[in-house]
Structure 1
Amino acid sequence: MKNSRNIKKFLKIVFEKNKLIASIAFVIMLVISMLDLSIPQVTRLILDDAIINNKTNLLIKLVLLYAIISIFSALFTVILEYIYSKMKKRASIKLKIRLLKHLSKLSGEYYTNIKTGNMLSIIENDIFIVENFGAEILFSLIVDGLTACIALFFLVRMQSDLLLIVITLQVMLTFIQSKFTKVIAQKTEEVRKDSGNISNIVQEYVSNIMNVIISKSSFNFFKRYIKQEKGLINKCIKLDMIISSNISASMILSSLITICIYGYGGLKIIKGNMTIGELIAFQQYTGMLIGPCINIIRSNTRIQQSLVSINRIFSILDEPIIINQDNNSSIIKEDFSGNITFDNVVFSYDEDRILDNINIEFEKGKLTALVGTSGCGKSTIVNLLFRLWDIDEGKIMIDNIDIKDYNLKSLRKNISIVTQDLLLFDDSILNNLTIGNKNISKKFVKDVCNRVDLYDFINGLPNGFDTIIGEKGVKLSGGQKQRVAIARAIISNSSIIVFDEATSALDNISQKKITENISDLLKNKTVIVIAHRLSTIKNADKIYVIDKGRVIESGNHEELILNESTYYSLVNEQKQELALS
C-alpha cells in the first residue's frame, strides 16, 4: 500500500508540467516499436523471395527499405533519449528543491535527530537512482508488452509447435527472474542504508577535519569508517554476485531458446516444412518476444531498486510539519514594536521538562539578558521564540499577539539570532553579510563593519568585500567570524536581535568597544543577550537568572548583586576564575 502510494506521488511529480513531451515520447516509442516489428518481415522477403527467386530489383528495394527503417528507428531513438533526459533532469531538480524546502519547514525535534550524511545520501544518491524511474520505465513497460503481444501473434501464425518449446523455456526464465528480483530488492535496501551511515561518518570527518586533527581522533574515525566499509563491501559483493547469477541464468536459458530454434527449425527446413527466411524471421520475432519479456522482468528489478530510493525520499517529504505555517496569518507590519511576553510557558523534550512555567518579558528599546548554568533552558527560550518548537502550555506573545497567529516566514524575518555555532557560506564577505540581499546599501554595510571593528581587516584583503572566506569561513579567525555574524544581524535590520554567546571569541576590550559602537543602532530594537561571561551584561536593563527551567531571580545588575543570591554567586565565581587565570 505504502509502495504504490509513493510511486503514484512520484509519477505525479514526473508528469507535472511534462504531459505534452511525455505524450510525444510515448508516440515516438510506439513508432520505434512498429518499425522494429516490420524488420523480420522484410528479412523473410529478402531471403525467401528476392534471393531464392533471383529478383535483383526486389532485393535492392527491400535492402533500401531495411536501411530506411533502421535509420529512422535510430533517429527516433536519439530524439526519445533527449526527451527522457529532459524529463528526468526536470523531475530530479524538482525533487531536490521540494526536499530542501520541506526540510526548512520541519521542527527542531527533527533537526536534532537527523543524520546529515544519510540526508545527503538521499538528496544525491537516491534521487540519482530514481531519475531513470518514471516516464521512461512506464512507457517501456507498455510498449514492451505491446511488442511482445504482436511478436507472439506472428510466431503463432508461423510455427506454433516451435513456439511451445520457446514458451516453456520462457516460463522457466520468468520464474527464475522473479525469485532473483525479491532478493535483489532486499539486498539493495540493506546496501543503501549502510551507504547512508558511511556518508554520515565521512561528512562528520570532512566537515570537522581541523578539529579531528587537533583532538587526535583520526584513529577513532578510521576505526569506525573501516568497520562500516568492510560490512558494506561484503554486502555489495553479495549483491553483485546475485545480480551476476541472475544475468547468467538468463543468458543460459536464452541460449537454450536459440539452440532449440535453430536445431528444431533446421530439422523442419530439412524436411521442407519451413524456409530459411521463416526461420530467421521466427528467430527475430522470438527475440522481440523474449527481449521485451526480459525487459519487463528487469524493469521489475529496477522498480524494486528504485522503490527503496523512492521510499527513502518520501520518508522525508511525508515527515509531518508540526509547526503550523499558515501563510494567511498576520504579517508583521512596519509599526511592529517587538515587545515579547512569555506567559506561564511550559516546554518538554522527550518527556524531560525543560521550561517550567516561565514568565519573562523582553521590551522594545531595552537590553534583556538571560543567565544561568549550561542546560538551564536559556537557548531553548530563543528556539521557542523562533518557533523551531511549539510550547506545551502557556503563551508566547509579541505585541500581545500569540506568535502562532503570525505568519511564520514574516515572524522569522523579524528575528535575527547570533549564535556560537556560526553559519558562514563559502562565498564573498559581502554576500555573507547581506545574505545576498541586493537592496542593502554598500554604505550601510561599510558603516556597520566599521562599528564592529571589521572594516579595516576587510579593506586590507586583496579583493576587499569580494574576498571568498572559504567553507564555514575557514579563512577567518574565531573573532572575525563573530564580528561578521554580529554585523549581519544588524544589517538585516530585524526588530528583534538575539545574541547567544555572540562575543565568546572576543576579548573583553574588543567586546566592550563593539557593544558601545553598535548601541545607537539597537536603540529601537528588542535585544536579548544570552551570556556566560557576566561582565558583558552589566549594563543590561533587566537580567533573568534561569535555573532548571525556572526564573529564580530578575532585576538589573546592581539589584541582583544586592540580593546576594544565585547571580551574586555566579559573578563571584567568575571573578575568582579570572583571578586564577
Structure 2
Amino acid sequence: MKNSKNIKRFLKLAFEKNKFVASIGFFIMFSISILNLCIPQLTRLIVDDAISYRKTSFLLKLIFLFGVVSFISALLSVILEYLYSRMQKNVSVKLKIKLLRHLSKLSGDYYTNIKTGNILSILESDIFTLENFGAEILFSIIIDLITASIAVFFLIKMDFDLLILVIALQLFITFSQSKFTKSIASSTSEVRNSYGNIANIIQEYVSNIMNVVISKSSFKFFKRYINKEKKLIDKRIRLDVIMSSNVAIVRVLNNLITICIYGYGGLKIIKGKMSIGELLAFQQYTNMLIGPCINIVRSNTRIQQSVVSINRIFSVLDEPITIKQDNKGNRLTNDFIGDIIFDEVCFSYDEDKTLDNINMTLEKGKVTALVGSSGCGKSTIINLLFRLWDIDKGEISIDGINIKDYKLKSLRKNISIVTQDLLLFDDSILNNLTLGNKDINKEFVESVCKKVDIHNFINELSNGFNTIIGEKGVKLSGGQKQRVAIARALISNSSIVIFDEATSALDNISQKTITENISELLEDKTVIVIAHRLSTIKNADKIYVIDKGRVIESGSHKELVLNENAYYSLINEQKQEFALT
C-alpha cells in the first residue's frame, strides 16, 4: 500500500509540468515500435521475392526502404533519448530542491538526529536511480505490450505450431525472471542502506579531516570504515551474483528458443511448408515478442529497485514540520518598538526539563547578557527565540505578539546569530559577508569591515574582497573567521543580533577594540550576548545568570558583584582575565 502510494506521488511529481514532453515522447516511441515491426516483413520480401526471383530493381528498392526505415527509427530514438533525458534531469533537480527546502523547515529535533551521509546518499544515489524511472519506464511497458501483441498477431498468421513452442519457453523465462525480482529488490535495499552508512563515516571524516589528523584518530576511522566496506562488498557480490545468474539463465533460454525455431522451422523448410524468408521474419518477430516480455519483467525489477529509492526520498519529505508556519502571520520589521519577553517559559529536549519557568525581558536598544555554566540552557534560549524548537509552556513575545504568530521567514530574517561554530562557504570573502545579496552597498560592507578590524587584512590579499577563502574558511585563522562572521551579522542589518561566544577566538585586546567599534551599529538593536568570558559582558545593560535551566540572578555587572552570589563566584573564577581588561 505504502509502495503504490509513493509511486503515485512520484509519478504525479514527474508528470506535473512535463505532460506535453511526455506525450511527444510516447508518440515517438510508438512510431519507433511500428517502424521496427515493419523490418521483418521487409526481410521476408528481400529473401523470398527479390533474391529468390532475382529481381534486382525490386531488391534495390527494398534495401533502400530498409535503410530509410532503420535511419528514421534511429533518428527518432536519439530525439526520444533527448526528450526523456531532459525530463529526467528536470524531475531530478525538482526533487532535490523539494528535499532541501523541506529539510530547512524541520525542527531542531530532526537536525540533532540527522545522519548527514544518509541524506547525501538520498540526494545523490537515490535520485540518480529515479532518473530512469517515471515516463520512460511507464511508456516502455505500454509500448512493449503493444509491440508484443502485434508480434503475436504476425506469428499466429505465419506459423501457429511454432508459436506454441515459443510461448511455452517464454513462459518459463517469465517465471524465472519473476523469481529473481524479489531477491534483486531485497539485495538492492541492503546495498543502498550500506552506502548510506559508509557515506556517514566518510562525511564525518572529510568534514573534520584536520581534527582527525591532530587528534590522531585516523586508526579509529579506518577501522570503522573498513569494517563497513567489507560488509558492503559481501552484499554487492551477492547482488552481482543474483543479477549475473539472472542474465545467464535468460541467455540460455533465448538460445534454446533460437535453436528450436531454426530446428523446427528448418524441418518445415525441408518439407516445403515454410520459406527461408518466412523463417527469418518469424525469428525477428519472436525476438520482438521475447524482448518486450523480458523488458516488462525486468521493468518490475527496476520498479522494485526504484521503489526503495522512492520510499527513502518520501521518508524525508514525510517528516512532519512541527514548527508551524503561518504564511499570513505578522511580519517582524526592523523598526519594531517593543521588547522581547520570556514569560514563564518551560522547555525540555526529552523528559528532563532544560528550561524551567524562565522570565526575562530583552530590551530594544540595550545589551542583554546570558551567563552560566555549560549546559545550563543559554543556547537553548536562543534556539527557542529563533524557533528551531517550540516551547512546551509559557510564551515568548516580541512587541507583545507571540513569536508563533509571526511569519517564520520574517522572524528569522530579523535575527542574526554569530556562534562559535561558524558557517563559511568556499566562496569569495565578499559573498560570505553579503551572502550573495547584490543590493548591499559595497561602501557599507567596507565600513563594517573596518570596525571589526578585518579591512586591512582583506585588502592585503591578492584578490581583496574577491579572494576565495576555501571550504569552511580554511584559508583564514580562527580570529579572522570570527571577524568575518561578526561583520556578516552587522551587514545583514537585522533588528536582533545575538553573539553566542562570538569572540572566543579573539584575544582580550582585539575583543575590546571590536566591541567599542561596533557599538554605534548596535544602538537601535536588541543585542543578546552569551559569554563564558565574563570580561566581555561587564558593560552589558542587564545580565541574567542561569543555572540548571532557571534564572537565579539578574542585574547589571556592578549590582551582581555587590550581591556576592552566583555571578560574584563566577567573577572570582576568572579574576586573572578581569585583571587584564
Question: TM-score by structure 2 length?
Answer: 0.98
2:318 is aligned with 1:318? yes
Write out per-residue CA displacement over residues 273-308 of structure 1, whole angstroms, 9 at most, x where no aligned residue.
211111111110000000000011111111111111
2:469 is aligned with 1:469? yes
**Deviation at residue 56 of structure 1 after TM alignment:** 2.2
3-state SS of paired residue (1:54): coil
**Deviation at residue 338 of structure 1 after TM alignment:** 5.5
2:226 is aligned with 1:226? yes
Cα distance in 1, alignment partners of residues 80 and 185 from structure 2: 28
Cα distance in 2, alignment partners of residues 22 and 551 from structure 1: 63
Amino acid at match of 1:421: D
3-state SS of paired residue (2:483): helix
Quote the residue 1:487 is aligned against. Answer: 487
Amino acid at match of 2:53: N
Cα distance in 2, alignment partners of residues 153 and 293 from structure 1: 15
Q: How does 1:149-160 map to 2 (within 5 A)?
A: 149-160=149-160
Quote the residue 2:61 is aligned against. Answer: 61
Cα distance in 2, alignment partners of residues 132 and 281 from structure 1: 32
Cα distance in 2, alignment partners of residues 253 and 239 from structure 1: 21
2:153 is aligned with 1:187? no
Cα distance in 2, alignment partners of residues 424 and 51 from structure 1: 75
Quote the residue 1:125 is aligned against. Answer: 125
Cα distance in 2, alignment partners of residues 436 and 45 from structure 1: 68
Amino acid at match of 2:445: V
**Deviation at residue 545 of structure 1 after TM alignment:** 0.9
3-state SS of paired residue (2:325): coil
Cα distance in 2, alignment partners of residues 217 and 431 from structure 1: 34
Write out per-residue CA displacement over residues 25-72 of structure 1, whole angstroms, 9 at most, x where no aligned residue.
100000000000111111111112222222222222221111111111
3-state SS of paired residue (1:329): coil
**Deviation at residue 313 of structure 1 after TM alignment:** 1.1
Instruction: Pick closer, same or farther for the CA change 1:578–1:249 going to 2, 3 Å.
Output: farther
**Deviation at residue 413 of structure 1 after TM alignment:** 0.4
Q: How does 1:74-85 map to 2 (within 5 A)?
A: 74-85=74-85
Write out per-residue CA displacement over residues 547-576 of structure 1, whole angstroms, 9 at most, x where no aligned residue.
111111111111111211111111111226
1:337–1:495 Cα contact (<8 Å) kept: no
Write out per-residue CA displacement over residues 229-254 of structure 1, whole angstroms, 9 at most, x where no aligned residue.
11111111111111000100110111
3-state SS of paired residue (1:342): strand
Quote the residue 1:432 is aligned against. Answer: 432
Amino acid at match of 1:216: K
The aligned length equals 580
2:147–2:289 Cα contact (<8 Å) kept: yes
**Deviation at residue 352 of structure 1 after TM alignment:** 2.4
Quote the residue 1:33 is aligned against. Answer: 33
Write out per-residue CA displacement over residues 361-387 of structure 1, whole angstroms, 9 at most, x where no aligned residue.
101011001111111110000001000
Q: How does 1:182-261 map to 2 (within 5 A)?
A: 182-261=182-261
2:379 is aligned with 1:379? yes
2:17 is aligned with 1:17? yes
2:39–2:66 Cα contact (<8 Å) kept: yes
2:144 is aligned with 1:141? no
Cα distance in 2, alignment partners of residues 134 and 354 from structure 1: 47
3-state SS of paired residue (1:361): strand
Amino acid at match of 1:130: L
3-state SS of paired residue (2:186): helix
2:99 is aligned with 1:99? yes
Write out per-residue CA displacement over residues 387-435 of structure 1, whole angstroms, 9 at most, x where no aligned residue.
0011111111011000010010010000000000000001111111111
Quote the residue 1:296 is aligned against. Answer: 296
2:163 is aligned with 1:163? yes
Quote the residue 1:389 is aligned against. Answer: 389
Instruction: Pick closer, same or farther for the CA change 1:287–1:52 going to 2, 3 Å.
Output: same
**Deviation at residue 579 of structure 1 after TM alignment:** 8.9
Q: How does 1:351-390 map to 2 (within 5 A)?
A: 351-390=351-390
1:185–1:305 Cα contact (<8 Å) kept: yes
1:330–1:406 Cα contact (<8 Å) kept: yes
Identical positions, percent: 74
Quote the residue 2:177 is aligned against. Answer: 177
**Deviation at residue 335 of structure 1 after TM alignment:** 3.2
2:72 is aligned with 1:47? no
**Deviation at residue 164 of structure 1 after TM alignment:** 1.1
Cα distance in 1, alignment partners of residues 333 and 366 from structure 2: 20
Structure 1: which 5+ runs fail to align?
none
Cα distance in 2, alignment partners of residues 475 and 335 from structure 1: 37
Write out per-residue CA displacement over residues 84-120 of structure 1, whole angstroms, 9 at most, x where no aligned residue.
1110111111111111111111111100010111111
Cα distance in 1, alignment partners of residues 133 and 158 from structure 2: 36
Cα distance in 2, alignment partners of residues 574 and 170 from structure 1: 84
**Deviation at residue 578 of structure 1 after TM alignment:** 8.2
Cα distance in 2, alignment partners of residues 333 and 434 from structure 1: 20
**Deviation at residue 442 of structure 1 after TM alignment:** 1.1
Quote the residue 1:451 is aligned against. Answer: 451
Cα distance in 1, alignment partners of residues 52 and 252 from structure 2: 34
3-state SS of paired residue (1:493): coil
Quote the residue 1:280 is aligned against. Answer: 280
3-state SS of paired residue (1:421): coil
Q: Which moved more, 1:268-277 or 1:521-530?
A: 268-277
Quote the residue 2:328 is aligned against. Answer: 328
2:535–2:577 Cα contact (<8 Å) kept: no
Question: TM-score by structure 1 length?
Answer: 0.98
Cα distance in 2, alignment partners of residues 66 and 48 from structure 1: 15
Q: How does 1:416-431 map to 2 (within 5 A)?
A: 416-431=416-431
1:365–1:523 Cα contact (<8 Å) kept: yes
Amino acid at match of 2:470: G
Cα distance in 1, alignment partners of residues 536 and 211 from structure 2: 28
Cα distance in 1, alignment partners of residues 94 and 74 from structure 2: 30
**Deviation at residue 3 of structure 1 after TM alignment:** 1.0
Quote the residue 2:407 is aligned against. Answer: 407
**Deviation at residue 334 of structure 1 after TM alignment:** 4.7
Q: Which moved more, 1:4-13 or 1:181-190?
A: 4-13
1:500–1:529 Cα contact (<8 Å) kept: yes
Amino acid at match of 2:433: L
Instruction: Pick closer, same or farther for the CA change 1:496–1:338 going to 2, 3 Å.
Output: farther
2:265–2:279 Cα contact (<8 Å) kept: yes
Cα distance in 1, alignment partners of residues 440 and 461 from structure 2: 22
Amino acid at match of 2:423: L
Instruction: Pick closer, same or farther for the CA change 1:318–1:36 going to 2, 3 Å.
Output: same
Structure 2: which 5+ runs fail to align?
none
Cα distance in 1, alignment partners of residues 233 and 126 from structure 2: 19
Cα distance in 2, alignment partners of residues 55 and 305 from structure 1: 53
3-state SS of paired residue (2:355): strand
Cα distance in 2, alignment partners of residues 237 and 50 from structure 1: 52
3-state SS of paired residue (1:349): coil
Cα distance in 2, alignment partners of residues 557 and 117 from structure 1: 46
3-state SS of paired residue (2:512): helix
Amino acid at match of 1:362: L
1:338–1:525 Cα contact (<8 Å) kept: no
Q: Which moved more, 1:530-539 or 1:5-14?
A: 5-14
